[in-house]
Amino acid sequence: MSESPLAPGSRVAIAGASGLIGSALTRSLTSDGHEVIRLVRRPPGGKDEVRWDPENQRIDTARLEGCAAVVNLAGAGVASRYWTAAYKETIRRSRVLGTRTLADAVASLDSPPRVFVNGSAIGFYGDTGDRAVDEAAPAGDGFLSAVCVEWEGATAAAQAAGVRTVFARTGLVVSREGGAWGKLLPLFKAGLGGRLGSGGQYWSFVSLHDEVAAIRHLIDTESLSGPFNLTAPEPLTNREITEAMGRVLHRPTFFAVPGPLLTLALGEMSNEVLGSSRVLPTRLLESGFSFAFPTIEGALRGALR
C-alpha cells in the first residue's frame, strides 16, 4: 500500500495533545515541520490553539479549515480514579461526546481533512483469555468494550461525509512518561515489582515510539480506514513481562499482588488488570508497517533511553 506523506508545513489538529500519546505525536509532527493545532478547553493561548467544549459539543469549527488531518486522542483517564458509577459515566461521555463533536465539525467543513484518526482501545475485545484476536473479531463484553463500540460509532458524521476514518485501537503503551508503565517502572526500579494476580493474563503492549509511528502511518496511507490494532506483534503474559522487566532493570521480581487484593483495591477496574487481552496487529502489519520495537525488551530499553 502506497503512502502519501503529509506535505511540508501541513496543519494537523489534535484533541488530547497534552496527553502521553498526544504530546509525543505533537513532537514528532512539529519536528518534521508540520503545524499542530491543539484543541483546548480554556481560552486559546496562541494561534496554535483552538477552543472546544466537548461536553456541550461546541468547537470553533472555522479554525479547522485547511487541516490535512484531525486526530482525536481525548478522553478521561481510565486508570486515573476508582470506577464509581459517576466516573464510569465521565469516561464514556468524554470519549463519545468529544468524538461526536469533532466528527460533526469535520463533516461541516468546506475543505474537510483527508483523514480523521480517532483514538480507541483494545478494550474493544474484552477479556480474550488465551485466544488471540485481531481486527476481524467482534466486540467483547464489559464496560470498556461497550464504551469502545459507542466511541467508534460516534464518528458516523465524518464517515457519512466521505472523510477517511481510522480507529486506532491502542494497547498498553510502554513509556516512562505515563500510562501503565509510568507507574510500574518506579516500582520495578526499586526492586518492588512482581506479577499481578496469576500472571497468566496476556498484556498487549506497544512502545510509545511505535504508537506514534503507527498513527503517522495511518495518516499517510490513503487506502487505510476502519480499525487497526496498535500493539506489538507478540503479546506476552504478565508473568513474562515481569521477568523481562527484571532482566532489563537488573532487579528482583519476587513480589506478587494477589488477585483478591487487586480487586479490593481497584474495584471493577481490576478486571482490566487481571483480564487477558491477546491482541494482534494483523491489519497494521498487512499495510506494510514495521515495528522498531517489536519485543518487550526492546520497548523497555527504548523507554528507558
Question: Taking 80 as the threshold, does the pLDDT of residue 264 lie above it?
Answer: no
Domains of the chain and CATH, by start: 11-173+205-232+279-293 (3.40.50.720)
Estimate the share of the chain in helix, then strand, then coil, as percent rounded to the nearest 5.
40, 20, 40
* Confidence at residue 218, expressed as pLDDT on a 0 to 100 scale: 98
Q: What's the one-letter identity of residue 191?
A: G
Give the predicted TM-score (pTM) of the model. Answer: 0.96
Question: 139 falls in which pLDDT band (50, 70, 90)?
Answer: very high
Segment 201-230, tens digit of pLDDT: 999 999 999 999 999 999 999 999 999 999
280 closest CA partner among 231, 224, 214? 231
Residue 74 has pLDDT above 70, yes or no: yes
Residue 289 corresponds to which cell in the numbers above? 508497517
Please choose, from the candidates 171, 135, 163, 153, the residue with its C-alpha nearest in 3D space to the C-alpha of residue 92: 153
Going through 109-204 in order, the beta strands assigned E by DSSP cover 115-121, 164-170, 172-174, 194-196, 202-203
Angstrom CA distances, 140 to 89, 123, 124, 199, 294, stand at 19, 8, 6, 21, 26
Distance separating alpha carbons of residues 70 and 238, to the nearest angstrom: 34
d(CA 271, CA 239): 17
Residue-wise pLDDT for 36-45, tens only, equals 999 999 999 8
Q: What is the mean pLDDT of residues 20-43?
A: 97
